[in-house]
Chains A and B, each alone.
Chain A
Amino acid sequence: MASPPTIVNQNAEKESGPVDPVLVRIRDVIYKVCGIYLPDNKFYFLKDRCARRLEALKTDSLQVYFDALTAGPDREAEVRSLLNEMTVGETCFFRSPPQLHALRKIMLPKIMAAKAKLSFTRLKIWSAGCSTGEEPYTLAMIMLEDSAAYLQGWKWEIIATDLNDRSIAKAKEGIYDSYAVRNTEPYFREKYFRAQGQKFALAPEVKERVTFSRLNLSDESKILFMRGNDVIFCANVLIYFDGASKRRTVRHFYNNLLPGGYLYLGQSESLYGVSDEFHLVHFPGATAYLRPSLETPGGAGR
């Protein structure tokens, strides 16, 4: 998708005092329309982003802005503009450590135990809306690390897709600035990156583990061919979809996962009211959506 963004966790000073009730309503509208939820300790962030929109709309009233967001003729465009302010068009390596931790320590071992019973020894992960490649390359690095451990004897592939050709070209190039590696531990930086002037170039052994291609998640004829995944990552992409497209795409994700497979969204995203088929599951510090298998308590079709 066009530059999947990250929710920015600014370390701005928290403001004391009661929160403007209109801001609470804006937070709730964003959750209802986009499925992205900012807890109370992020109000300062929401207020700051709304302030930018207030300035653009030349008003100083949050109530006027709320009306524009919910009842104005351009409300859909305005929601999109606010989302754009809340997100940035770049991501980074190792963006969500709790998700990666659960992947390595819980999800993959569990999936592998189930597959091993059927004598399967292949894993497939899809990064949907991969932008400039930081997410799938992060997955490749941690799986390379584990390939001598619990992944020994297993084949694995990482498929990465995005709508934007330029993002894909940049991903294939594999050269990043220091901002992209700000969350990357020195161990990984030294092992899998080569200095190239002020930039960081990914090592060939990481690049060759990811297959990139262009894909529009709304293109139903193409998405049908993305079958057989164990885990799908799709962070901060669905927030831009309207209700019907979101339901359709999530349905495709469900069908494209093997039973017992997981869908990861962005850390603040929720599928509440979007899918009855996926099971919401909790891991330490992270949530995911499970396509239940026959062994799952409660089974499919809850």
Chain B
Amino acid sequence: MNTTVDETLRSRVRNLDAMPAMPAILAPLLRCLDLPPDQIEVEKVTELISCDKSIAAQCLRMANSALFSRYTHIETVRGAVVALGARRLRDILWTSFLIRMAPKNQWPLNPTAFWEHSFGCALVSQQLARKVLMPDPEKVYLCGLLHDIGELVNATLIPDDFRKTVEFAVSKNISLFEAELEIMGFTHCETGKLLGEYWNLSPDVQKTIEFHHMPGQSPAPAALPALVHLSDLLCRLRGMGYGYDELLEVDFHTDPAWALLEQSVPQLDRFDVARFTLELDADAEEIRHVVAAAFQT
């Protein structure tokens, strides 16, 4: 981003502290879960999660979903902690936290759409990473979950511009990204990057937030922004978009992100995109259930 745009942007989005803060328990919880597996204290993690009834309820609901676990009868927080393991628990905690941040009032789109899309993109990114045998597929969940976090910044801090952007995107059947460039001159990639810095997210997540629409401009390696770019498209194509009619035609093999991902995943040319797309329809159904249930609380 050039300096002038950066300064203008920072001045417009200057109240980042007006964004919802992370719940008090999240940082100590993540610290506990980041310890080597043999040092993680199940009792302490259970106790911390139990402190926040809303997070505890969300964790239990997701722990019982087929999307996260093979078990369907987990009834206690302790049971969830043991059954899921640190990595999945961390994913679920982040997801629960973000669902609580839902901008229920100032969101000019279907309020669940943002979460279906973010949660969907997290899961699709992770599944795609596993299917194409990408190294360390676990870390892509958070990249997918947070890739559009800039939309939350826009909805919260510049609601009038955000509303105009959405109306323009809906009327022209184009992506929010294109509409933002047209209406505001900057996009959720840039505002998301500011929040990513403010929240001190990992460099991988920050890079994905900033470059998921233009992975070709990302510093190498660009595999994560490229993979999330493809997953983002797949979600928007298979009923997990922003809830309006976006006229998209995508040829994954000729998308520049495909070639970028191929640099890290040479076996990508043998990947069956058609089958993966059809598989997603089952996940989309489950994602809608989980998000709908999460919004009822």
User: Any chain B CB within 8 A of the CB of A31?
Assistant: yes
Chain B contacts for A41, CB-based, 8 A? 281-282, 285-286
Once bound together, how far apart are the Cα atoms of A110 and B233, in whole Å?
20
Chain A contacts for B245, CB-based, 8 A? 105, 284
Residue of A nearest to B238 (CB): A285
- Establish whether residues B237 and A270, one from each chain, have CB atoms under 8 Å apart when the complex forms: no
Chain A contacts for B249, CB-based, 8 A? 102, 106, 110, 281-283
Among A40, A110, A271, the most chain B Cβ lie within 10 Å of the Cβ of: A40
Smallest Cβ distance from A108 to chain B, in angstroms? 12
Q: Mark A179-192, 1 if CB is under 8 A from B, else 0.
A: 00000000000000
Chain A contacts for B278, CB-based, 8 A? 37, 39, 268, 270
Once bound together, how far apart are the Cα atoms of A282 and B239, in whole Å?
12
- Establish whether residues A283 and B237, one from each chain, have CB atoms under 8 Å apart when the complex forms: yes
Smallest Cβ distance from A282 to chain B, in angstroms? 5
- Establish whether residues B253 and A280, one from each chain, have CB atoms under 8 Å apart when the complex forms: yes
User: Any chain A CB within 8 A of the CB of B272?
Assistant: yes
The listed residue (B236, B248, B253) touching A279 by CB distance below 8 A is B253
Chain B contacts for A16, CB-based, 8 A? 72
Once bound together, how far apart are the Cα atoms of A298 and B233, in whole Å?
19
User: Any chain B CB within 8 A of the CB of A290?
Assistant: yes
Once bound together, how far apart are the Cα atoms of A301 and B286, in whole Å?
38
Once bound together, how far apart are the Cα atoms of A283 and B280, in whole Å?
14
Chain B contacts for A31, CB-based, 8 A? 275
Q: Mark A262-283, 1 if CB is under 8 A from B, else 0.
A: 0000001011100000011111
- Establish whether residues B251 and A297, one from each chain, have CB atoms under 8 Å apart when the complex forms: yes
Smallest Cβ distance from B234 to chain A, in angstroms? 8
Residue of A nearest to B274 (CB): A270
User: Any chain A CB within 8 A of the CB of B250?
Assistant: yes
Known contacts A18-B70, A31-B275, A272-B275; A39/B251 CB under 8 A: no
Chain B contacts for A42, CB-based, 8 A? 282
Chain B contacts for A222, CB-based, 8 A? none
Known contacts A280-B253, A285-B237, A285-B239; A106/B247 CB under 8 A: yes
- Establish whether residues B282 and A39, one from each chain, have CB atoms under 8 Å apart when the complex forms: yes
Residue of B nearest to A17 (CB): B72
User: Any chain B CB within 8 A of the CB of A58?
Assistant: no
Known contacts A42-B282, A270-B272, A272-B275; A280/B251 CB under 8 A: yes
User: Any chain B CB within 8 A of the CB of A117?
Assistant: no
Number of A residues with CB within 8 Å of any CB on chain B: 30
Chain A contacts for B241, CB-based, 8 A? 284
The listed residue (A17, A284, A302) touching B248 by CB distance below 8 A is A284
- Establish whether residues B282 and A40, one from each chain, have CB atoms under 8 Å apart when the complex forms: yes
Known contacts A280-B253, A282-B250, A297-B251; A270/B275 CB under 8 A: yes
Chain B contacts for A270, CB-based, 8 A? 272, 274-275, 278
Interface residues of B in 93-140 (CB under 8 A from A): none
Chain B contacts for A282, CB-based, 8 A? 233-234, 237, 248-252, 277
User: Any chain B CB within 8 A of the CB of A161?
Assistant: no
Q: Mark B263-287, 1 if CB is under 8 A from A, else 0.
A: 0000000001111011111100110
- Establish whether residues B272 and A281, one from each chain, have CB atoms under 8 Å apart when the complex forms: no
Known contacts A280-B253, A282-B237, A302-B253; A271/B248 CB under 8 A: no
- Establish whether residues B272 and A298, one from each chain, have CB atoms under 8 Å apart when the complex forms: no
- Establish whether residues A39 and B281, one from each chain, have CB atoms under 8 Å apart when the complex forms: yes
- Establish whether residues B238 and A272, one from each chain, have CB atoms under 8 Å apart when the complex forms: no
User: Any chain A CB within 8 A of the CB of B178?
Assistant: no
Smallest Cβ distance from B275 to chain A, in angstroms? 5
The listed residue (A17, A272, A285, A302) touching B272 by CB distance below 8 A is A272
Once bound together, how far apart are the Cα atoms of A40 and B286, in whole Å?
11
- Establish whether residues B254 and A39, one from each chain, have CB atoms under 8 Å apart when the complex forms: no
Known contacts A39-B282, A42-B282; A290/B251 CB under 8 A: yes
User: Any chain A CB within 8 A of the CB of B262?
Assistant: no
Chain B contacts for A84, CB-based, 8 A? none
Among B249, B252, B279, the most chain A Cβ lie within 10 Å of the Cβ of: B249
Smallest Cβ distance from A57 to chain B, in angstroms? 28
Chain B residues within CB distance 8 Å of chain A:
70, 72, 173, 233-234, 236-239, 241, 245-254, 272-275, 277-282, 285-286
Please list 5 pairs of residues, one from A and one from B, whose beta carbons are closer than 8 Å in the complex, sorted by A's number: A39-B281, A270-B272, A282-B277, A298-B254, A302-B253
